[in-house]
Amino acid sequence: MSVIFSRECEYAIQALIFLAKQERNTWISIKDVAQQINIPQHFLGKIFQKLVQKGIVISQKGFSGGFKLTKDVNKISIFEVVEAIDGDGYRTKCVMGFPDCSADSPCPIHNKWKSIRDDFVKLIKSKKLFELAHEIKKPGY
């Protein structure tokens, strides 16, 4: 599990990269996604429910159904996915876990983390699924 994102968010990003690599407007079954990238199918189902609610993917029931992206892969940022799954906690919570950490009452690394976090947010806002799908070298994608 990463330091910043939940496992659920990591899986969402991985699943969406997989969908981004598929032919546009092709319905992909949750079973295929789960098998190809080695994510538990039941857990992935719950993740996809959230992604459907947030309008990132759409679903269609039935034999030829499945999931597909709602927008062009050039328009979906990692920021959008992270906010859909994890919310803004990575931007608002103390990296050291102090509940009362703030600009007025900073933890020992508050100011340094703020700078890193701001750069990180810029990065995930600028990175689109298209880029990640074309840059990934992992088998199965």
Q: Which portions of the chain are predicted below pLDDT 50?
A: 1
pLDDT tens string 47-58: 999 999 999 999
Whole-Å CA distances, 11 to 17, 18, 99, 108, 113? 10, 10, 27, 32, 25
Q: What percent of the chain has pLDDT over 70?
A: 96
Output the six-digit token pair for 40: 């538990």
**Beta-strand (E) ranges in 1-141?**
57-60, 66-69
For the chain, the average pLDDT equals 91
The structural domains of the chain, ordered by start, are 7-87+128-135 (1.10.10.10)
| Whether 83 contacts 50, CB under 8 Å | no
What is the C-alpha to C-alpha distance for residues 22 and 40, in angstroms, rounded to an integer?
20
